[in-house]
């Protein structure tokens, strides 16, 4: 167990050594004992004392570990947070975990494994959920397939997952990574990657370059802090640790396309980033002689890159558009790119992250968000872990590859930077002496007729994707205050508003996705919350029926719908969702070479999530309130999961809802 500093002083070896040293000072026997016997007796004291102390401390540490695992496995605090049992539980955690500071991965081997739900509970929940968004005729088929699965393939597949759970850290993690992400053949742009737009302050800089230098420095410092485990783990209620495994893939990660399955490449020891400007690529060494570049040094290097790129014609060949293709097509094309530009491709794919020095200023947050999502064809290498984009007016944001980085984890990156960022109308990169550093290396592409033809096709595909996407950022005329006055959960309130809006537009109930965190468990990521219920369905029907005038019934149905959504989210957070369990059962059937059970080709399971939604929780509002931040700019978003669907991201900053 990697533990806090204080535990080094109570390690078995330390206590054993201290005990042995104390016994060494204790006189051995009487004066009549011969000196040889006295030495032997003293050695027995010393060895005995060391061994007894060593194994006693070992036993105590083992007991502490088992107690903490048990305490972290307890989820009753979420149901009854003010109960006496929850208070005693909280006190025991505080006593047993010891004092701060905690290392980044201090609690990783104490976090419980994700529980495997009961098969019948999962199937019953799925029937209850699916009934709301399929027709009566379709539901009869779904019910038939579920019951057949319950009596036949289900128990065998569930038993297989039980064995998998015993032998591995997670019965779900590898299935989810491969099945939900790496096996998908859709383009990463829109269908997988998401964007984050960072906050601004009212006294923002006139140029994006000083801010870029500052933020890049903080990103590099975060990478160093993760390596040295200096970032404290995330604790729910300052008590329960969340799994921090996502932090291991923040930097130096790239998704490599494959014909049938992608893979993840890790370059943890990388010491360079890639900078893009006007279509030109530059390799910038960001760690020299064991030290990362300071803001001043970064500013100087970025100035040189900008000057060099601006002195050249913009590169008209959209090399990055290759990563916007169907994954199998890109895998084929990449083999040729690797033959003709192997060193350059390796530089791009092994960088810690990419940054773009964009020479545009967008008229509003919607235009900027669209640019962060898709770029211009040449400036988003969608495979890389994340790309930070800096605009001329000081605004910035990121495009993030989703397969290893969930938005909750990347939100912590933004918070890390925001808390440390200090900039104003003056130059932020003047402090400290500057080293004499080598200039960034401009990367030269080798092009030929075949590569040019590839680029032409991938650019056309990029433009088609760009044309199909509508992206709008709006701020609501109210915040969570009015929702709380209605005695409704803000998240549930928003979800019901989305249900009503979709029903008004399409006259149908949407299969809706909302994530619940799975990070209470080892290697956990998310599970699906289904906001749709019999109450939400009745409520939207009542709200859109002009003949239905009973306001009290509408309020009652809304309250029940929100409570149902809140309970579902709580169940999913505690590991009692249904979608991930069903997904793992499907993957197990494929792994065992079985034909897919009919529950999976069924219309309910195959139906697209026409509403893909997510709220990004953040602590930035409480930290930055009153410091001039423009919270409307601090948003994130993602594309729809199907061509006729919606991807809706929302964030609440006090009375700001975007």
Active-site residues: which are they? 402
* Contact status, residue 224 vs residue 427, Cβ threshold 8 Å: no
Quote the CA–CA distance of 206 and 101 in Å, as a whole number: 38
- Buried-state track 211-241, b at ≥16 Cβ within 10 A, e below 16: bbbbbbbbbbebbebbeebebebbeeeeebb
For 546, other C-beta atoms within 10 Å of its C-beta total: 5
Q: What is the 3-state secondary structure (H, E, C) of 55-124?
A: HHHHHHHHHHHHHHHHHHHCCHHHHCCCCHHHHHHHHHHHHHHCCCCCCCCCCHHHCCCCCCCCHHHHHH
Reduced to 3 states (helix: H, G, I; strand: E, B; else coil), residue 133 is coil
Quote the CA–CA distance of 390 and 217 in Å, as a whole number: 14
Quote the CA–CA distance of 399 and 397 in Å, as a whole number: 7
Whole-number Cα distances in Å, 444 to 186, 248, 252, 310: 29, 31, 22, 16
Tokens matching residue 328: 């199998």
The single-letter DSSP state of residue 403 is S
- Residue that has been written with the tokens 């065998």 in this structure: 156
Tokens matching residue 19: 């005990």
Reduced to 3 states (helix: H, G, I; strand: E, B; else coil), residue 284 is strand
* Contact status, residue 295 vs residue 429, Cβ threshold 8 Å: yes
Q: Taking Cα atoms as reference points, which of 85, 77, 60 lies closest to residue 238?
A: 77
- Residue that has been written with the tokens 């309970």 in this structure: 567
- Residue that has been written with the tokens 């006189």 in this structure: 27
Q: What angle do CA 588, 590, 591 make, to 5 degrees?
A: 60
Tokens matching residue 504: 């008004």
Q: What number of residues does the chain have?
A: 658
Q: Taking Cα atoms as reference points, which of 239, 135, 195, 44 lies closest to residue 649?
A: 195
Tokens matching residue 598: 């009919």
The single-letter DSSP state of residue 617 is -
* Contact status, residue 309 vs residue 359, Cβ threshold 8 Å: no
Q: What angle do CA 191, 608, 468 make, to 5 degrees?
A: 45
Q: Taking Cα atoms as reference points, which of 590, 656, 594 lies closest to residue 625?
A: 656
Cis amide bond preceding 393, omega within 30: no
Quote the CA–CA distance of 636 and 414 in Å, as a whole number: 11
Tokens matching residue 559: 């309250």
Cis amide bond preceding 101, omega within 30: yes
* 287-288 and 396-400 strand pairing: unpaired
* Contact status, residue 336 vs residue 454, Cβ threshold 8 Å: yes
Q: Taking Cα atoms as reference points, which of 337, 318, 254, 325 lies closest to residue 280?
A: 318
């Amino acid at each position: 167990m990697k533990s806090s500093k204080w535990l080094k002083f109570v390690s078995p070896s330390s206590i054993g050594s201290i005990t042995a040293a104390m016994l060494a000072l204790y006189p051995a026997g009487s004066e009549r004992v011969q000196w040889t016997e006295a030495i032997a007796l003293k050695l027995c004291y010393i060895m005995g004392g060391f061994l007894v102390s060593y194994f006693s401390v070992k036993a105590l540490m083992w007991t502490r570990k088992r107690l903490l695992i048990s305490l972290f496995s307890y989820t009753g605090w979420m149901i009854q947070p003010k109960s006496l049992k929850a208070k005693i539980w909280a006190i025991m955690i505080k006593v047993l975990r010891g004092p701060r500071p905690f290392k980044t991965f201090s609690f990783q081997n104490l976090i419980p494994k994700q529980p495997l739900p009961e098969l019948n509970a999962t199937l019953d929940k799925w029937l209850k959920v699916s009934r709301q968004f399929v027709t009566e005729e379709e539901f009869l088929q779904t019910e038939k397939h579920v019951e057949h699965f319950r009596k036949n393939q289900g128990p065998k597949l569930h038993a297989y997952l039980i064995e998998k759970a015993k032998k591995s850290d997670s019965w779900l993690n590898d299935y989810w990574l491969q099945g939900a992400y790496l096996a998908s053949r859709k383009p990463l742009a829109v269908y997988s990657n998401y964007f984050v737009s960072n906050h601004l302050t009212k006294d923002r800089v006139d140029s994006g370059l000083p801010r870029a230098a500052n933020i890049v420095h903080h990103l590099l410092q975060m990478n160093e802090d993760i390596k040295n485990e200096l970032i404290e783990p995330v604790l729910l209620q300052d008590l329960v640790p969340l799994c921090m495994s996502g932090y291991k893939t923040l930097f130096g990660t790239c998704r490599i396309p494959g014909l049938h399955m992608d893979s993840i490449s890790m370059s943890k020891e990388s010491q360079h980033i890639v900078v893009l400007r006007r279509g030109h690529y530059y390799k910038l060494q960001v760690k020299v002689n064991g030290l990362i570049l300071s803001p001043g040094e970064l500013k100087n290097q970025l100035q040189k890159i900008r000057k060099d790129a601006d002195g050249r014609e913009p590169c008209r060949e959209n090399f990055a558009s290759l990563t916007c293709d169907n994954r199998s097509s890109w895998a084929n094309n990449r083999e040729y790119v690797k033959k003709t530009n192997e060193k350059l491709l390796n530089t791009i794919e092994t960088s810690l992250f990419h940054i773009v020095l964009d020479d545009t200023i967008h008229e509003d947050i919607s235009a900027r968000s669209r640019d962060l999502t898709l770029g211009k064809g040449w400036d988003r290498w969608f495979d890389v872990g994340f790309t930070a984009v800096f605009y001329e007016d000081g605004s910035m944001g990121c495009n993030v590859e989703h397969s290893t980085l969930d938005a909750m984890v990347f939100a912590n990156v933004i918070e890390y930077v925001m808390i440390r960022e200090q900039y104003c109308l003056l130059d932020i990169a003047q402090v400290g002496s500057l080293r004499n550093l080598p200039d960034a290396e401009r990367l030269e592409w080798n092009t030929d007729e075949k590569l040019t033809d590839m680029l032409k096709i991938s650019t056309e595909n990029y433009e088609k994707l760009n044309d199909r996407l509508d992206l709008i950022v709006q701020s609501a005329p109210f915040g969570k205050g009015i929702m709380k006055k209605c005695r409704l959960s803000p998240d549930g309130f928003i979800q019901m508003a989305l249900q009503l809006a979709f029903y008004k537009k399409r006259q149908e109930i949407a299969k809706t996705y909302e994530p619940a965190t799975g990070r209470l468990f080892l290697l956990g990521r998310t599970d699906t919350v289904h906001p749709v219920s019999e109450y939400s369905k009745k409520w939207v029907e009542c709200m859109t029926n002009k003949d239905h005038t009973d306001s009290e019934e509408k309020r009652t149905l809304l309250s029940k719908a929100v409570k149902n959504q809140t309970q579902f989210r709580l169940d999913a957070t505690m590991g009692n969702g249904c979608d991930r369990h069903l997904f793992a059962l499907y993957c197990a059937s494929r792994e065992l070479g079985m034909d897919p059970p009919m529950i999976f080709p069924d219309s309910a399971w195959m139906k697209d999530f026409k509403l893909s939604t997510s709220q990004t929780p953040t602590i930035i509002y409480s930290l930055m309130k009153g410091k001039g931040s423009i919270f409307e700019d601090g948003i994130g978003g993602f594309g729809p999961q199907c061509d006729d669907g919606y991807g809706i991201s929302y964030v609440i900053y006090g009375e700001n809802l975007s």
